[in-house]
Amino acid sequence: MKSLLHGLAILIAGGLLYLIGLMVWVEIQRRGDRYFARPLAERRRFVQRLKWHARYVRPIFEAIARLKRPTKVPLMRYGRVTGPLMMSSKKSYAGTLHYQPEAADIFIATQMKCGTTWMQQIVFEILHGGAGDLSDAGYRHMYAVSPWIETSPTSSVPMARAPLVGPRRNRIIKTHMPAQLIPHSDLAKYIYVTRHPVSCFASCVDFIYKGMGPLTPTRADMLDWFCSDDMWWMSWPDNVESWWQRSQQHANVLFVHYEDLKRDLEGGIRQVAAFLAVPLTDAQVATIVHKAGFDYMREHEEEFEMFAPNLFSVSTPENIRYMQSGALDRHKDAGQAERERILAFCRARLAKASYPAERFYPDLAP
Could you tell me the residue ranges of all domains in the chain? 31-364
**Which pLDDT value is given to residue 2?**
66
* CA dist., res. 334 & res. 356, Å (int): 24
End-to-end CA distance of the chain: 70
- Measured over the CA atoms of residue 343, residue 347, residue 353 and residue 358, the dihedral's sign is positive
* CA dist., res. 117 & res. 136, Å (int): 19
pTM: 0.94
**Which pLDDT value is given to residue 330?**
64
**Which pLDDT value is given to residue 318?**
67
**Which pLDDT value is given to residue 333?**
78
Digitized pLDDT (tens) for each residue of the chain, 366 residues in all: 666 666 666 667 778 899 999 999 999 999 999 999 999 999 999 999 999 999 999 999 999 999 999 999 999 999 999 999 989 999 999 999 999 999 999 999 999 999 999 999 999 999 999 999 999 999 999 999 999 999 999 999 999 999 999 999 999 999 999 999 999 999 999 999 999 999 999 999 999 999 999 999 999 999 999 999 999 999 999 999 999 999 999 999 999 999 999 999 999 999 999 999 999 999 999 999 999 999 999 999 999 999 999 999 999 876 565 555 556 566 667 889 999 999 999 999 999 999 999 999 999 998
Residues 35 and 309 sit within 8 Å (Cβ to Cβ): yes
Give the 3-state DSSP-derived string for the chain, with helices as H, strands as E and coil as C: CHHHHHHHHHHHHHHHHHHHHHHHHHHHHHCCCCCCCCCHHHHHHHHHHHHHHHHHHHHHHHHHHHHCCCCCCCEEEECCEEEECCCCCHHHHHHHHCCCCCCCEEEEEECCCCCHHHHHHHHHHHHCCCCCCCCCCCCCCHHHCCCEHHHCCCCCCCHHHCCCECCCCEEEEEECCCHHHCCCCCCCEEEEEECCHHHHHHHHHHHHHHHHHHHCCCHHHHHHHHCCCCCECCCHHHHHHHHHHHHHHCCCEEEEEHHHHHHCHHHHHHHHHHHCCCCCCHHHHHHHHHHCCHHHHHHCHHHCCCCCCCCCHHHCCCCCCCCCCCCCCHHHHCCHHHHHHHHHHHHHHHCCCCCCHHHHCHHHCC
Per-residue pLDDT of 100-141, as tens digits, reads 999 999 999 999 999 999 999 999 999 999 999 999 999 999
**Residues in contact with 203: Cβ distance below 8 Å, sequence separation at least 6, in sequence order:** 113, 195, 324, 325, 330
The CATH architecture of the domain made up of 31-364 is 3-Layer(aba) Sandwich (3.40)
**Which pLDDT value is given to residue 75?**
97
**Which pLDDT value is given to residue 105?**
99
**Which pLDDT value is given to residue 309?**
95
